[in-house]
Amino acid sequence: MRIDSSWGMNTTATPSRPNEFLRWQFRLRNRLLTCGIAKSDASGYSVVTVPHNNVRKGTVEIYKDLVSALQRHASIAAQLRADGWSIASYTNA
């Protein structure tokens, strides 16, 4: 999944890619990180986390059902907020 980091604040209900379910971009000072969920082909849902300063450290976790993917996304978001990150932009389906 390719994550576009060139957006400003976006709250639209239409995802930019057909398989994308949601995408949140977090900011901590001058650092950005994107965490999103996309529909994987036959394998379920992917939770993708990408630090913009080093995309090689990005991760993809596959879940069989949307509920598990949403729970993981919520867990990541809660940890980021606890660590001082704030939401810079988001999309949802």
| C-alpha–C-alpha distance, residues 29 and 36, integer Å | 20
Q: What is the predicted pLDDT for the residue at 17?
A: 55
List, in order of start, the domains of the chain with CATH numbers: 20-92 (2.20.140)
pTM of the model: 0.76
pLDDT in tens, the chain (93 residues): 333 433 333 433 444 455 878 999 999 999 999 999 999 877 799 999 999 999 999 999 999 999 999 999 999 999 999 999 999 998 876
The answer to whether the CB of 34 falls within 8 A of the CB of 53 is no
| C-alpha–C-alpha distance, residues 85 and 93, integer Å | 23
